[in-house]
Amino acid sequence: MARELCRLSSELNRQLGVLVHRSGKVELIVVGDYGQIMIPQLGHVRASGGRLRGLRLIHTHLAGEDISDEDLMDLLFLRLDLLSVIKVEADGLPEKMYSAHLLPGAQEGKNWAFLKPVHPANQLDSCEELIAAIEGEFARSGKSSLVDRGEDRAILISVTTEQKRQAEESLAELVELARSDNIMILDTVLQRKNRANPRLIIGKGKLADIMIRALQLDANLLIFNQELNPSQIRSITNFSDLRVIDRTQLILDIFAHRAMSREGKLQVEMAQLKYMLPRLSSRDDALSRLTGGIGARGPGETKLEIDRRRINDRLARLTKELKQVGDERYRRRAKRRKKELPVLSLVGYTNAGKSTLLNTLTNSDIIAENKLFATLDPTSRRLRFPTEMEVVITDTVGFIRNLPADLLQAFMATLEELKEADLLVHVVDVSNPGFREQMAVVEQLLHDLELGTIPVLTLFNKIDLVEDRNLVYQLVGNEGIMVSALQPETLREFLVQAEGLIGKALDGKLR
């Protein structure tokens, strides 16, 4: 086979390559030019199920050159079992075969090793055994156990021009988001740059490092903290077969898992489709990796066009259904309005403790947990103040910085309800070091939602977790009330003030 490859290669004056499956079958033949060959996307070529691709590449070099950097990049990014170069002599016969394979732990900064060159006819060592041994090394070097299987195993990446502290906080939030979506976090990568590169979100060298990490840790997912445009997705997926998603998609995924009500589900689906639509134009399979669902890879534009039309149809239907559900909700609300109970609405950053507060105040047990976006669907309960005044207290979806616009748009209807509140209670997790920024995000969103005219009472929650309460008191003491939603006895002052403010608001309305 080597002789035949060399003969043809020499006749055509082009490099020739074969991709050989572990079973020995040739999966693909690649014809290059004199100086290089390009390996096409291997999405459809069967893989082995192990750490490595299950394919080895054997190709010819005509100018007597050694294994090149490009060859090593192929080895790395395609996770090839083995990469071999056969140098072709002037008479069209094979000189020797030069091979390289990946290494689990970097040795002297290199993640690959070279084998001793041999004449193709003199290969005495078993390729199969060698590959099995390398796979074994990789499996041992990672911590993955069989139990972990079946879940997403991700490396989180943030490429940013932000200040160090902000960048770290933002990455920490991404970790929380991933955790809330039950994704296993294997590693985080933070790269601060002076200037963002719009085309390549991350340099090739850094990407190579990440691919090595992914190999060692057996990751199957890369999550970027920055929103990726189609060309950026392509620039990464061209190099690797890992799934790549961004923060927006992660949030959408959490929402998709959490949505319980019909309205919530419709809203999330709408947001997902809207996010996907502009990304459908790219004519490669980045999208199928992006969505995992809709098969965007197809014979050219046709399939994408069909998908696009289908999505548009679906969007139109969703809009109609959402309107129906919205009308129903409006009627329900009208009933409530007739009873004329004042409304107190809890707002705040996600995970601030809104649902916990509602539970404590009303002896309920709606879902409250240490996950971002535990609450999606709005909940209302009745609450009786000490002086017998009765109000409706509502809890709704939490806010987050850079809330995806599509999502905000989709949830607009639910958030519109906040307009009927007589008092907004802004719950802040004061134990979070970034609580100031979180407050600013919430305030901005309240402003965007045109809720600026409703009185706001700020609650600094989770005070039980704060070590230096005096310091916090000095910082925010005159901006609101300090409470712990888990300790009912800390809520008295809040109840008194809330009642006073609602009373005032009602007086204002009557006049």
Ligand X SMILES: Nc1nc2c(ncn2[C@@H]2O[C@H](COP(=O)(O)OP(=O)(O)OP(=O)(O)O)[C@@H](O)[C@H]2O)c(=O)[nH]1
Contact residues for ligand X, defined by CB under 6 A? 348, 350-356, 368-370, 372-375, 398, 461-462, 464-465, 484-486
Q: Which of 131, 372 has the CB closer to Mg ion?
A: 372
Residues 404/251, Cβ–Cβ less than 8 Å: yes
Is 376 among the residues that bind Mg ion (CB under 5 A)? no
Binding segment (CB under 5 A) for Mg ion, from list 129-137, 143-151, 372-380, 457-465: 372-380
What letter would DSSP give residue 41? P
Q: Which residue is nearest to ligand X (CB)?
A: 398
Q: Which of the listed partners (Mg ion, ligand X, none) does 485 bind, with a CB threshold of 5 to 8 Å by partner kind?
A: ligand X
Q: Which of the listed partners (Mg ion, ligand X, none) does 465 bind, with a CB threshold of 5 to 8 Å by partner kind?
A: ligand X
Which H or E run includes 214? helix 204-217
Provide the sign of the torsion angle of the four alpha carbons 46, 50, 52, 55, taken in this order.
Answer: negative
Q: Which of 196, 465 has the CB closer to ligand X?
A: 465
Residue 300 tokens, joined: 């050219």
Q: Which of 158, 375 has the CB closer to Mg ion?
A: 375
Residue 459 tokens, joined: 């609650």
CB 379, min distance to Mg ion, A: 9
Residue 158 tokens, joined: 């943030």
Contact with Mg ion (CB under 5 A) among 84, 111, 180, 355: 355
Q: Which of 458, 484 has the CB closer to ligand X?
A: 484
Q: Which of 275, 399 has the CB closer to Mg ion?
A: 399
Q: Which of the listed partners (ligand X, Mg ion, none) does 226 bind, with a CB threshold of 5 to 8 Å by partner kind?
A: none
Is 374 among the residues that bind Mg ion (CB under 5 A)? yes
CB 367, min distance to ligand X, A: 7
d(CA 427, CA 419): 17
Nearest to 48 by CA among 86, 21, 88, 17: 21
Is 249 among the residues that bind Mg ion (CB under 5 A)? no
CB 258, min distance to ligand X, A: 9
Q: Which of the listed partners (Mg ion, ligand X, none) does 223 bind, with a CB threshold of 5 to 8 Å by partner kind?
A: none
Which residues, including other chains, have CB under 8 Å from residue 338's CB and lie 6 or more apart?
A: none
CB 347, min distance to ligand X, A: 9
Binding segment (CB under 5 A) for Mg ion, from list 43-51, 87-95, 212-220, 366-374: 366-374
Q: Which of the listed partners (Mg ion, ligand X, none) does 373 bind, with a CB threshold of 5 to 8 Å by partner kind?
A: ligand X
Is 375 among the residues that bind Mg ion (CB under 5 A)? yes
Is 345 among the residues that bind Mg ion (CB under 5 A)? no
Q: What are the CB-based long-range contacts (under 8 Å, 24+) for 481-489?
A: 481/457, 482/430, 483/357, 483/459, 485/353, 485/356, 485/357, 485/359, 485/360, 485/427, 485/461, 486/356, 486/360, 488/360
CB 454, min distance to Mg ion, A: 20
DSSP 287-316: HHHHHSSS---SSTHHHHHHHHHHHHHHHH
Residue 506 tokens, joined: 């009602």
CB 486, min distance to ligand X, A: 4
Is 396 among the residues that bind Mg ion (CB under 5 A)? no
Q: Which residue is nearest to Mg ion (CB)?
A: 375
Q: Which of 104, 348 has the CB closer to ligand X?
A: 348
Provide the sign of the torsion angle of the four alpha carbons 495, 501, 502, 504, taken in this order.
Answer: positive
Residue type at position 478:
N
Q: Which of 122, 370 has the CB closer to ligand X?
A: 370
d(CA 56, CA 268): 43
d(CA 174, CA 153): 14
Binding region for Mg ion (CB under 5 A): 354-355, 374-375
